[in-house]
Each structure stands twice: as structure tokens, then as C-alpha cells.
Amino acid sequence: MACTSGSSILVEPYGSVDGRTVYRYTLSNSKRVQVGILSFGGIVQSINVPDRSGQIGNISLGFPSLEGYLEKHPYFGTLVGRVANRIKEGKFELDGQTYQLAINNGPNHLHGGLKGFDKCVWDSKVEEGQLVLSLVSGDGEENYPGECRVEVRYSLNDDNELTIDYRATSSKATPINLTNHTYFNLAGQDTGVVYDHVVRINADHYLPVDDTSIPTGEIAPVEGTPFDLRTAVQLGPRIDALPNKGFDHTFRVNAGDTEKKFTARVEHPASGRVLEVYTTQPGVQFYTGNYLATSHVKHGGFCLETQAFPDAINKPNFPSCVLRPGQTFHETTWYRFQVNA
């Protein structure tokens, strides 16, 4: 066990995948918050936090054992890459060369391909009070160019802030977009739909998409649309106002005074639980579990996936997602858990 300033990390073996031991790390602080993370897929398996009455509940969706994550599932809690979200038709051109990636989501490429980072056993260790996961993605893996070395650090402090810090380098120019795909339900896992949650997203613009969920290239104002979440709204009626009855869209996070930009705030009034998100990333994908149908109920959770803009590699007007040799990709996201009295 490693400890630092009121927090601790407990490690235990948790099974194996492809002959490699998987470990489960439990990050704890003095405020009774615990976060369980697997070395398989960097999965955030559980987030246990108190409500206003002190009752502890798991506010993330997932499975109680490793086996559930070995079957096909909707990326519960996973660390997603090499490129999170979608690339149109799985194609891109970079430095005069055309690359064709796997098509695994309708006509498009999604979340790094057939075996993205979410399906890998990561090297893991505890260092200076942080869980450190590292992975080497080979040149040509999933047909991406360059050997990509990735390090992700997870830490939990006594302000109830879970920090996820991402770094990567590459031997060749490559697109990169790393995120975490945790599904939240502040009422607790398996308590039903999230329609009673109250949501605010700090974004003046969002990315309209085509009928395959690829951004059109427009960066559109939210003003006068159901995507205007700049003031807090109850989620159920806003979902009903959308043509597709659910969010699966990227919002451009408004700039702040520091790199750590306030991104979103979600509250569950009945329990008093509150989630705040901050990030250095340019965007956040707000997804309301529209396709949760097998292991969990539709709209039974929401994701706030901080990331680059989807299909940025094919959209020159979007912020670049290209990582070149000699550069270091470095982005950080903070999830802060609070309780309203």
C-alpha cells in the first residue's frame, strides 16, 4: 500500500488476460471516497462516494468482476485510444500517405479500432502516491503510424478530486486522442435513468454531426438550440427535446483564465451528489447512454469524455490532433466529487 497526505492506494491481483496478471488498484482518501481502477484497459471500475446522508454508493457503471469486461461492452470506464471517438470511414491522410483503419462503428472507425487501448493490459505501478499505467503501441498497430509510448497517471486527493493525466510520444507523426469513458449515475449504479440529473456544460459552441455521428465541420453556437447547457437544466426534458432523444455530441469548452478549464457540472438533487469536471482539452463529448440496452438500461448513465474534436485528422479547421516526433502529448482532466447539503 502507498500513502500520501491522507490518500492511499491498495493493489491486489484481479485475474489474468492473455497470460498477463491484471491488477486492481483502490485509491482512497480521508473523505471516504474510493476509486477502483484496473490495469486492464485502464478501467475505472468503481467510484464510491457519500451522499448528503453519508450513504456510500458507486456512481459509475460497470461490472463486478473482470469477466464482464472481457466480453463486448460499451467501453465502461475504459481508457480509450490511440484515437478516441470517430474517424470518418476510417481514413486519413498524413504527410502525403493515406491510412485505412478498421471500420467498427457503422461506416466509421471508433475508439482506436478492433483492439484499442481499452482492450490491453497496461504495465502498472504506484509512484509518489499516483497509479501509473504505461503502454507501448507498436508502429502499425491497428494501422496507425509510429511507435506510440503512452503514460497515464491517476491520483485522488482529499479535495475529492480524481486526476487523470495523459502523456504520449511517437516515433512517427500520428493522430492521437486519449480520454476516459466512465459512465456516471450520481444516484448510484443500477438505479435507473438519469433524467432527474441537472446538467450544466460550459460551452458556447458544439459540433453538429451527420447521421453517422461524424462532425460536419461546423462549430455551431448553442444559442437558441437544445444544446445550450450553459445554465443548469434537468436532463430528461432536454433529452426529449432532441430529435434523436439523446446527446452524443462534442462541445467546445470555453476558455478560462488557466489551462484548467471548468467544463461541466452535474447534480443529482435527491442524493445531493455533485460531479464537476475540469480539463485542459479543447472539447468534451457528452453522451447520455443512448445505446445502453444489454447490461444496463438506456439512459442509465452519462459520459463526459474530455478530448480532441472527433475526426479532427480530416477537419483542417479543427484543432490539430497530430503528434509528431520530438513532441509530447500532455492533457489532464479532473473529476471533483461533492455533496450539496
Is the Cβ–Cβ distance between 298 and 185 less than 8 Å? no
Q: Which of 141, 142, 267, 305 is catalytic?
A: 305
Question: Quick check: is 331 catalytic?
Answer: no
Question: Quick check: is 147 catalytic?
Answer: no
Could you tell me which residues come within 8 angstroms of residue 13 by beta carbon, excluding any fewer than 6 positions away?
21, 22, 23, 24
**DSSP count for the chain of H helices, then E strands:** 2, 28
Could you tell me which residues come within 8 angstroms of residue 151 by beta carbon, excluding any fewer than 6 positions away?
132, 133, 134, 166, 167, 168
Q: Which of 181, 249, 296, 299 is catalytic?
A: 181
C-alpha cell at 77: 470506464
DSSP string covering 159-228: TSEEEEEEEEEESS-EE-B-EE---B-TT-TTS---TT-EEEE--SEE--B-TTS-B-S--EE-TTSTT-
**Where do we find the cell 476509486?**
35
Is the Cβ–Cβ distance between 308 and 177 less than 8 Å? yes
Just list the catalytic residues: 181, 305
